[in-house]
Amino acid sequence: MSTPPHGLPRLLAGLHAGPDPVRLAEHERTHGPLPALRPPDLIEAVERSGLRGRGGADFPTGRKLRAVAGRRRVSAVVVNGSETEPASQKDAVLLSRLPHLVLDGAVLAAGAVGAPEVIVRVGEHATRQIGALEDAIEQRSAAREKVRISVVAAPGGYVSGEESAVIQALSGGASIPVFVPPRPFERGYRGRPTLIQNAETMAQIGLIARYGPAWFRELGTPGDPGTVLVTISGAVEAPGVYEMAFGTAMVDLISAAGGATERLQALLLGGYFGTWVEASKAMGLRLAREELSVVGCALGSGVLIALGESACGLNESVRVIDYLAAQSAGQCGPCVYGLRAIADAVAVIASGRDRGRELERVGRWTEEIRGRGACHHPDGAARFVQSSLDVFAAAIERHRHGR
């Protein structure tokens, strides 16, 4: 077992200043060679670590590994590097600059579930990620990797990163979510059981395999062990991707990004499917699932956007809602018609032409579309819309009076 890194960074250890990816020799100087673990030992280590998926669904990773390992004729391990959340950059950083750590976790996971193949799925325009991954795979081929590794680029779009959409695209279909069950671990790529995890989750597996579950739990909280990559942007001095321990105070996340550039009025937590939280309330929170849930939000894809007082939260929300409405997969009425109607109504509210009717309609429509879509796209959009109406109620009144 390699000597574990103390404190932070963990995932970002060995990252150098330039844009070039870390090569295999550099990677192994930082973390040591890929450990040889029996499949049951790796699964047990991941279970004991308490690692949860870092793609937004927050599902226990060890449980997912065990579910796939218990099935016959597993087709592949899929690394979901789509990262279709516009405000997120964490998986892009890992795949373009630290590809070997992600591939380590994927190869180990393939051995644990009995998959002969690893597929890394990225967006078709992710040229830096594609180049770094293909180069990393070529370096590893010389080391006689036991599983096949390939990179597949597919069309983007917000819903195309959902795991059933990824499997659908790899199987030759459109990059849109499909009805579940069956889920990928039951019938996925090539109609056979498939393990799919996002890039950061795979990188965490690569670390847990080397340093163990007790080491992983040294940072974080009992309920949320370990670290997480957070993309911080907006009214901060140094926007970027930061590795933070769970349990870190929200004020310290802002400080890590160089501090706020102006007084903040709100934080958007979780990205475009996330929730606006008024700044004074948000700054009293910690980066922990139980605390975020109290104010009705979750970290999701690991996005934090700081909104300064010079910006109009209502206008910013209009842009996001319009984008989400345009990203419908076109499979159901609540998404195709419901989200567009909501987006248009919120635009009317922001224009100052509403006298109360549109606001009442939006409130009713967001409740009506919840849980009625072919996928969770309407649910996430409705959550964002409702938080916008709540947090920016004062702005709505100002717009109504022409200010």
Range list for CATH 3.40.50.11540 in the chain:
24-216
Percentage of the chain surpassing pLDDT 90?
79
Q: How confident is the model at residue 142 (pLDDT cuts 50, 70, 90)?
A: low
Q: What is the pLDDT of residue 71?
A: 94
Q: How confident is the model at residue 330 (pLDDT cuts 50, 70, 90)?
A: confident
Q: What is the pLDDT of residue 144?
A: 65
Q: How confident is the model at residue 403 (pLDDT cuts 50, 70, 90)?
A: low
Tell me which DSSP letter residue 116 carries: S
Q: What is the pLDDT of residue 55?
A: 84
Alpha-helical regions (H) of 212-312 = 213-216, 250-256, 279-282, 289-294
User: Looking at domain 227-308, does it have CATH number 3.10.20.600?
Assistant: yes
User: Looking at domain 313-400, does it have CATH number 1.20.120.530?
Assistant: no
What are the tens digits of pLDDT across the range 358-371? 999 999 999 999 88
Could you please report the per-residue DSSP string of 10-57? Answer: STTTT--SSSSPPPHHHHHHHH-SPP---HHHHHHHHHHHT-B-TTTT
Mean pLDDT in the chain? 93
Range list for CATH 3.10.20.600 in the chain:
227-308
Question: What mean pLDDT is predicted for residues 83-90?
Answer: 95
Q: How confident is the model at residue 131 (pLDDT cuts 50, 70, 90)?
A: very high
Highest mean pLDDT: which range of 106-115, 170-179, 375-384? 106-115
Answer positive or negative: Cα dihedral of 178, 58, 4, 30: positive
Residue 208 clears pLDDT 90, i.e. is over it: yes
Alpha-carbon span 118 to 367, nearest angstrom: 40
What are the tens digits of pLDDT across the range 32-51? 999 989 999 999 999 999 99
CA distances from 69 to 62, 75, 111 (A): 10, 11, 9
Percentage of the chain surpassing pLDDT 70?
99
What are the tens digits of pLDDT across the range 148-185? 999 999 888 899 999 999 999 998 888 888 877 888 99
Question: What mean pLDDT is predicted for residues 324-333?
Answer: 90
Closest Cα to residue 111, out of 170, 191, 177, 46? 46
Question: What mean pLDDT is predicted for residues 209-233?
Answer: 97
Q: What is the pLDDT of residue 3?
A: 76
Q: What is the pLDDT of residue 372?
A: 85
Q: Per mean pLDDT, which range of 54-58, 211-215, 253-257 is the poorest?
A: 54-58
**Beta-sheet strands, E only, within 86-214:** 117-123, 148-154, 194-198
Look at residue 310 and give its three-state secondary structure.
coil
Closest Cα to residue 210, out of 21, 6, 400, 33? 33
Q: What is the pLDDT of residue 400?
A: 83
Q: How confident is the model at residue 331 (pLDDT cuts 50, 70, 90)?
A: confident
- Determine the topology of domain 24-216 in CATH: Rossmann fold (3.40.50)
Q: How confident is the model at residue 123 (pLDDT cuts 50, 70, 90)?
A: very high
Range list for CATH 1.20.1440.230 in the chain:
313-400
Highest mean pLDDT: which range of 49-63, 152-166, 213-227? 213-227
